[in-house]
Structure 1
Amino acid sequence: GAVLQAELLRAAHSARLAGLPRAEAAALRVVRGLRSARGQGRGQRLGDLTNAFRELLAEAAVLVSGAAGGGSARRSYEQGGSLRVYGLCREPVLSATGYGGVATHLLAPDGSRYSVSDVRPGGLARARGAGSASVALGGAVLDHGGLARGGLRIVGATVSPDGRLGAGRGVSATPLRGVHWSEEPAAALFARPVHEAMGALLDDGGHETEGAQAPLLGCDVVVVGAVGEYLVVRVADDGPSLRLRPAHPHPELPHAANLRRIAGYPGLALRVLGRPDLERAATLRPLAVGPVPGASYTLRLPEEWMGRADLGYDRLQGGHFPAEAPPGEAGGPVTAGPDPLADAPLWRVRRLLETGVAGGRRAVAEAGRGTETAAFAVPLRRAGLGGAAGLAEALVAEADRRPRDTFGRLSDPSPDGYARAWLASAIHLTAAERALVVASWS
């Protein structure tokens, strides 16, 4: 209700005054989620509110421990000296708050990742038009489409901790010839086995905060066919099967249309660059595709595209595909393969945590009374998930613990024990799901 939201807003204001922007942002995300849930907003998902609640409690727990730095209120840019960067692809940016634009991803010769963003109010129209807008960086004469297939020599570069290039005073940029994905440094992105790349990606730990996106991952794949809303591909050289989902599902952006057209060419060899979906097993959200060097049945892209198509801006046509399919690639039944995340009983823990967010402490206690505790604990232990079962049982026990004195008054009214039990179960669930996602890539 309004009282609880007001308390959270007051906590967010106090965090701002104390110079704790991460705590403030976490509290505001929970308030927005509560308002959307109570108003039954179209984009409201209980899972998103649960994740926001977990981040708020985690930030509060770190603050209580005295180990928090609090983060920075603004993105700070530091001097990066002179840089040479080469374009990889463009990505449309479209937020639920009405902002739109483009992010162009760049790569340095030493493998460092950078990006140039142009995001402003304007929504979908801004996102579609920004792909051909001029790059506001040191007087460069390129637009974002040219930068994605070209390069820049930057003097006096300013760089944020997440690799974004700033357009501050004193920055100058000169266009360079771009590189194909088959040339260094871009070729190194596709040379590493996908399971090793996924392990390294998660070890970096740079995507753990809310709103952060996974780094780009590249691989060579062979198209198998469409299953439901995703495209099934097989990683080259006997690799795992992957699911390709649109990087952005908006129908006015060409991501989904391009994947549907690719699905009509089973056996097609593709070089794919995209973001792994860390919440789904073996799922990649491609941003750009290109031909595989040396493959006979692969894309035929115009020379000016520099060997890749940005799926959010370029539209693949019939002429971009080979005329004849290779023998033996006639369409049969297409399956996506096993899904260890969907097959695991961890959904029982998530349901219990979401019950706590939607109905509060009493709802968790009721959900675990009688035979209900064994109903979710036994399948977890049978699947070897004893840690998840133990933490869920501890959560139910703490939710039902309401000690009272002789006069019926609560002798321990503090909610800290319940909050810590809920947070422990939520963090364990996130780690367990992440481990299953990583295993699905091998």
Structure 2
Amino acid sequence: PPAAAPAPAPGQPSGNTAPPAAPTPAQVRAATALWEAAAEALSAGVTAGGAVVQAELLRAAHTARLAGLPRAEAAALRVVRGLRAAREHGRGQRLGDLADAFRDLLSGAALLASGAAGAGAAGTARRAYGQGGSLRVYGLCREPVLSATGYGGVATHLVGPDGSRYTISDVRPGGPARARGAGSASVALGGAVLDHAGLARGGLRIVGATVSPDGRLGAGRGVNATPLRGVDWSEEPAAALFAGTVGGAVAAALDAGAREGGAPEAALLGCDVEVVGAAGEYLVARVAGGGPLLRLRPAHPHPELPHAANLRRIAEHPGLVLRVLGRPDLDRAATLRPLAVGPVPGEPYTLRLPEEWLGRADLGYDRLQGSHFPRGAASAGPLAPVDAVPDPLADAPLWRVRRLLETGVAGGRRAVAEAGRGTDAAALLAPLRRAGLGGAAQLAAALTAEADRRPRDAFGRLTDASADGYARAWLASAVHLAAAERSLVAASWS
């Protein structure tokens, strides 16, 4: 069978599909109703977002589902869950997450309600798998999967000869124990005799493959798989992952997130780094060749997974040169969450891994030992603290805008109006203008002014009780903030 074409990027049509059509009238009406319900919920805030407000959102979400808008429905359900958790003071609930959920819901509903959005904005209810023909894939690493909804498992990352990325997942109900055990479970794909540990360092030839748009391989009835010899990270096609610049890769990931209208999971990023040392909760490393300083944080901080322990051991060897494969944290400046590490070919001061590991260690499953490091590299005593990596995102006064937006989510329209009065307004706007963030200051001022605009007639009755104008002002400030933060994150990688 002919080789499969690379899977299209998530949200992008394949070459054989027609351009997406505009939303139907029913979808426009459903999106308009969802916008109105979300605007009222935002105006009420967590303090007044009780059963009535949540019921209106749920009704609008159900209407969106019937109209064929699964993405909008999912965004509305995230807001409802966030409101409930915040009102119940749920453990682990972050006000920033709820603010981001409101931004995604409002922006998506506004785009669909305008009638100008393509059908891709509606999303898909289920992951569609298409025929992939015959594939050859090679293992890169394993990643433990733990979800807040009680699922655990493993995702094994693969690469094709043309550089296409694929994953094979085994995720089921369970916690950390399920995630640990799945790392050595058999691969349920076409009778393959490999387990996930072997596949991460081996390969497969798959006949009759089924592939989703985001590169996930399905296990259909007609799928057959036979093992192949794995490739080292220094061999093609894996070597191409480490050939590009980190700044370009992160900028592309941020642009993709902006096009998707949310914050999709970042693609894997590979680079060579030199360990500097530990600084607080993270490991500091510099990209080889005079690149930027990076923060290496555990991909999964759960204590039952060895990510954090492996990073602490690596931090004990300043000057060590590593090849790292991980995910850039697109919400933080110059932050990488490593999934696997390996030695750098030709470097004398690098890892010494067993031959059966094929030149890499999965940080979520393998545990680094003293024998895996070059002799004499370990520090005889506690390491001196390393200076923190500069953080342009934390140093910028944009946090004042985020606090204003989160204040609106927590206390509603009235809280934003109070924040824009008197000395509070000066404390909010002056630092933004001094830092050259005039656009952020202008949008924040417009938001507080709209929040305080409550025109009344001679009898004290509201003449414009709609929350539409306030929601648009809040959304404009939130979208501008997200774009400014993306720019600062991209700059930190250059």
- 2: CA distance, partners of 1:433 / 1:264: 33
Alignment pair present for 1:91 and 2:140: no
**Which of 48, 64, 72 is 1:15 aligned to?**
64
Q: CA deviation at 1:302?
A: 0.7
Question: Is this contact kept in 1: 2:54–2:80, CA < 8 A?
Answer: yes
1:261-299 CA-partner distances (Å, limit 9, x unpaired): 101111101000000011111000000000011110111
Q: CA deviation at 1:208?
A: 4.4
**Which of 61, 73, 78 is 1:24 aligned to?**
73
- 2: CA distance, partners of 1:430 / 1:163: 27
Cα RMSD (Å): 1.6
- 2: CA distance, partners of 1:111 / 1:25: 32
**Which of 138, 142, 155 is 2:190 aligned to?**
138
Larger RCO (CA within 8 A; separation ≥ 6): 2
- 2: CA distance, partners of 1:86 / 1:201: 23
1:91-170 matches, cutoff 5 A: 91-170=143-222
- 2: CA distance, partners of 1:189 / 1:44: 35
* One-letter amino acid of the structure 1 residue matched with residue 91 of structure 2: R
The equivalent residue for 2:113 is 64
**Which of 101, 105, 110 is 1:52 aligned to?**
101
3-state SS of paired residue (2:241): helix
1:38-437 matches, cutoff 5 A: 38-66=87-115, 67-69=117-119, 70-205=122-257, 208=260, 212-325=264-377, 332-437=384-489
Query: In structure 2, do the counterparts of structure 1 residues 64 and 206 end up closer, same or farther at CA, with 3 Å as the change threshold?
Result: closer
Question: Is this contact kept in 1: 2:268–2:327, CA < 8 A?
Answer: yes
3-state SS of paired residue (1:360): helix
* One-letter amino acid of the structure 2 residue matched with residue 439 of structure 1: A
Q: CA deviation at 1:104?
A: 0.5
3-state SS of paired residue (2:188): coil
1:141-198 CA-partner distances (Å, limit 9, x unpaired): 1111111101111111111111111111211111110000011111111111211222
Q: CA deviation at 1:326?
A: 10
- 1: CA distance, partners of 2:92 / 2:127: 28
TM normalised by structure 1 equals 0.97
The equivalent residue for 2:8 is none
- 2: CA distance, partners of 1:15 / 1:301: 53
- 2: CA distance, partners of 1:122 / 1:346: 39
The equivalent residue for 2:22 is none
Question: Is this contact kept in 1: 2:331–2:489, CA < 8 A?
Answer: yes
Question: Is this contact kept in 1: 2:144–2:364, CA < 8 A?
Answer: yes
- 2: CA distance, partners of 1:364 / 1:318: 55
3-state SS of paired residue (1:260): helix
Q: Size of the alignment, in residue pairs?
A: 440
1:73-113 CA-partner distances (Å, limit 9, x unpaired): 00011111111111100000000110011101011111111
Task: Kindly report structure 1 stretches of 4+ aligned residues shifted beyond 3 Å.
Answer: 203-211, 330-333
3-state SS of paired residue (2:422): coil
What fraction of aligned residue pairs are identical, expressed as a percent?
82
- 2: CA distance, partners of 1:56 / 1:205: 15
Consecutive unaligned residues in structure 1, runs of 5 or more:
none
Q: CA deviation at 1:381?
A: 1.3
* One-letter amino acid of the structure 1 residue matched with residue 222 of structure 2: G
Moved more, 243-252 or 11-20: 11-20
Consecutive unaligned residues in structure 2, runs of 5 or more:
1-49
